[in-house]
Structure 1
């Protein structure tokens, strides 16, 4: 019989969700909880394969990783969001219930379930079984606030009720206190395939409706990052950035092995000299855009570390051989980087990023100014935070005639960012504010209250 309080954590089966929920699991483990981390069978295999190839293993003491089926066959593609979502909703609730029942029978009684805010059906399972449930938002809290406002956006005639398509292009206020958000930045609008947009939109709607099963809603954000959102939606409790309390900088849940050798390469570079470029786990650039990025990095004349994922289309990277030859003395390309450690490294001057929330948090939590190249989902919203609200970065603009971010645009923005010390100064100021928040400020207090609440004996009415 376990003496530790046992909690269960279940993420969306996607890299950008697994990583922050693993950070959450680690934080729970550091607070003395026994943690079971539940991936889908498919993602569990991917993560295990990546971790066994890493030269330095994460310290995951107290975290037990298990898996359940996602409803698709082993050989099926997981890129069709609608099909995957339907399969998960059909199969996973029963499988999760069976897993919890087995653990309870084995003396590992689950006291609380933490579920991604896009996997809130798991909180329905928890509620049914008399278990406490917490919804975790790994994206900006503003995106969850947007999802909760969808019924009003529909009734106001701003979006279509079927697929979320924009009926009226405009700036909207989710609350009187919050700054306006452009309808063009709504996360589902980036899907040009209408079936995919419909599936994504309906998934957001259903998941947000299922928040009714949550006893608490927490967010991997802070009051310093989204003050108006947390003031307007007080039921969302900021407890982040979670990574700011991970002193070792080890990042679990990677889908690809990390190239740790790049850290030694960074050791050889001057302080604040390296341009770090990485575009997340799902962004996809065609051959012309990849070449423009390469030539832009070359034009800067500065050292660079560029992440080109293992699953990048080979056609997209054709023509880079001569670029690598020309820049071998000052550049390095890797398939996947230990990003948190890279951004903590003193040689890194700036971060060219797709603006995923994880990458955004890693940048600002380490005082690194950002150059924004958003691709999809909440990344356009995050760009507005970076450039307009926090003023710690600059956005790359696409050439109107080609739709590409051109090499000279990259050069111009790098020179502008690194030539004005105010961006670095603001980024360092934000870093200090975030560290204070997680060490003794509002995020720390919210987290302490959550820990205390989990440990309380549940009173069944």
Structure 2
């Protein structure tokens, strides 16, 4: 391929990272680059299995993107939804495997890698790139505000807002010690660390990094699980405190956002360039690295529904509800009296009464649809690009992952926010407090979001013309940003020009 150069693309191994990195890769190929897309072995096999049938996985992706894989340092029995454990293993093992992969590619005659476009969470690989004379760019897949807070973590430690590694117990010597405390919280069981570990809030207060940025309780920092507890292994927060160093190794940082969405953040961190909202292609036909097989019923079912009638419900790749919360969610959707399209992953809940679920599905079968996954040819299941653009969709009950948030904004769909953990609380604050394009559910005293609460918030959102109008205005702004002289379009061209040097 006679193009502008060979780029190695390296996302963190999670669905919410792989999808936007694949979307970016398609865009780079459109501009003449050759891309090698590197997944960890566990997810590489899932991506291949979920690709549309063609003459092979790489062919299904189209010309210009080559799929490669490296080990993540975990065993087959390890839980890859444990973010702390995955982050720790990748930080220690991925750099050496990446160096080996690059050497093997060059030995087989592949063009020399010119740039690494890497995930900040895998910033430990940036030094490998520098060692091999490969230039480094960072693509951040969450909100710019999330990155800004993480880059500010050392400062927040110095100011006494959060504690640091010095608070960790000296007797914590093995990985097993870090994973010996379970915290039962509303509808989720969190596996967490001892209270002496790093990243905890020192003060219970509302936090705002700079004017115009979302406000956030110190108990809901982007590395926390919703209870005020840092997620998983303390290595995750230790890694975050190194983001400043990783950032200094990159020549440019781009993110999947737009100027109008995060004005305060980009004023504070003007070197972060928004290039979003990203999408692989205008027709949404290019595969974007989904981990699960496709269900092709979504659009056909939506086509049969009245305009602005459907409640779309999707909670991303990580959320897990216990049976009680799952039943309240299901009954709440039924109580709305509206048709709903609900994406329920096979692992979304554990221990649910199968007879109850079968009876529920039978009751709603005439008006609603539950799918385990939506067809990528028709829909992005984590952000629902085409589903959210469909005339039948009235609102989006969402976990507020950033991909879903950006795609909802781009399509002018109001939100009912139900965040699960980490940066999703920050995204909820954007949606409800800054942009004011949705409302959030509120758990009851025992931590459960009741069916009545869900019905109430859906009705409030659908009955609020101001929310709908602001959602429409944000849709217009986001679409302007990625066209012609739009700010995201111009930033993307700057990015392409840099990668072409």
Q: TM-score, normalised by structure 2?
A: 0.86
* Offset of residue 425 of structure 1: 1.8
What's 2:219 paired with?
184
For the 8 Å contact 1:351–1:369, the answer to whether it is kept is yes
Cα RMSD for the two superposed structures: 2.1
Q: Secondary structure at the match of 2:261?
A: coil
Of 70, 92, 95 in structure 2, the residue corresponding to residue 93 of structure 1 is 95
* Offset of residue 249 of structure 1: 2.2
Q: Secondary structure at the match of 1:341?
A: helix
Closer, same or farther in 2 for the Cα pair 1:328/1:177, shift >3 Å? closer
Q: Matched residues in 1 for 2:62 and 2:128: separation?
A: 26
Alignment of 1:393-408 (within 5 A): 393-400=438-445, 402-408=446-452
* Offset of residue 420 of structure 1: 2.0
For the 8 Å contact 1:223–1:238, the answer to whether it is kept is yes
What's 1:248 paired with?
283
Alignment of 1:36-55 (within 5 A): 36-52=36-52
Q: Matched residues in 2 for 1:182 and 1:36: separation?
A: 40
* Offset of residue 179 of structure 1: 5.1
What's 1:357 paired with?
402
For the 8 Å contact 1:177–1:232, the answer to whether it is kept is no
Tell whether 2:367 aligns with 1:326.
Answer: no
Q: Secondary structure at the match of 1:305?
A: strand
Deviations 1:203-245 (A, max 9, x none): 32234432221111111111111011001101111111112x7
Of 183, 200, 205 in structure 2, the residue corresponding to residue 170 of structure 1 is 205
Q: Matched residues in 2 for 1:286 and 1:107: separation?
A: 48
Alignment of 1:185-334 (within 5 A): 185-190=220-225, 196=232, 198-243=234-279, 246-250=281-285, 251-316=287-352, 318=354, 319-334=356-371
Tell whether 2:493 aligns with 1:448.
Answer: yes
* Offset of residue 177 of structure 1: 5.8
Deviations 1:353-400 (A, max 9, x none): 000001111111111111000010100110010011111111111111
Closer, same or farther in 2 for the Cα pair 1:80/1:438, shift >3 Å? same
Q: Matched residues in 1 for 2:43 and 2:244: separation?
A: 24
Q: Matched residues in 1 for 2:85 and 2:350: separation?
A: 26
Tell whether 2:373 aligns with 1:336.
Answer: yes
For the 8 Å contact 1:387–1:394, the answer to whether it is kept is yes
Q: Give structure 1 stretches of 5+ with no counterpart.
A: 457-461
Q: How many residues align?
A: 453
Of 121, 125, 140 in structure 1, the residue corresponding to residue 124 of structure 2 is 121
Please identify, of 416-425 and 199-208, the stretch whose mean Cα deviation from structure 2 is larger: 199-208
For the 8 Å contact 1:39–1:68, the answer to whether it is kept is yes
* Offset of residue 52 of structure 1: 4.7
Please identify, of 270-279 and 75-84, the stretch whose mean Cα deviation from structure 2 is larger: 75-84
Please identify, of 140-149 and 414-423, the stretch whose mean Cα deviation from structure 2 is larger: 414-423
Q: Matched residues in 2 for 1:73 and 1:52: separation?
A: 28
Q: Matched residues in 1 for 2:243 and 2:39: separation?
A: 18
* Offset of residue 62 of structure 1: 1.3
* Offset of residue 200 of structure 1: 2.4
Deviations 1:289-338 (A, max 9, x none): 11111111111111110111012334136422221111111010000123
For the 8 Å contact 1:222–1:434, the answer to whether it is kept is yes
Q: Matched residues in 1 for 2:294 and 2:368: separation?
A: 18
Q: Secondary structure at the match of 1:448?
A: helix
Q: Secondary structure at the match of 2:352?
A: helix
* Offset of residue 58 of structure 1: 6.2
What's 1:13 paired with?
13
Q: Matched residues in 1 for 2:259 and 2:399: separation?
A: 23
What's 1:34 paired with?
34
* Offset of residue 66 of structure 1: 0.7
Q: TM-score, normalised by structure 1?
A: 0.93
For the 8 Å contact 1:137–1:220, the answer to whether it is kept is yes
Closer, same or farther in 2 for the Cα pair 1:107/1:189, shift >3 Å? closer
What's 2:160 paired with?
157
Q: Secondary structure at the match of 1:316?
A: coil
Closer, same or farther in 2 for the Cα pair 1:386/1:176, shift >3 Å? closer
Q: Matched residues in 2 for 1:274 and 1:8: separation?
A: 40
Q: Secondary structure at the match of 1:259?
A: coil
Q: Secondary structure at the match of 1:242?
A: coil
* Offset of residue 175 of structure 1: 3.3
* Offset of residue 197 of structure 1: 5.4
Of 129, 134, 137 in structure 2, the residue corresponding to residue 131 of structure 1 is 134
What's 1:65 paired with?
67
Q: Secondary structure at the match of 1:263?
A: helix
Q: Matched residues in 2 for 1:323 and 1:58: separation?
A: 37
Q: Give structure 2 stretches of 5+ with no counterpart.
A: 166-197
What's 1:432 paired with?
476
- Bigger helix fraction: 1
* Offset of residue 164 of structure 1: 0.7
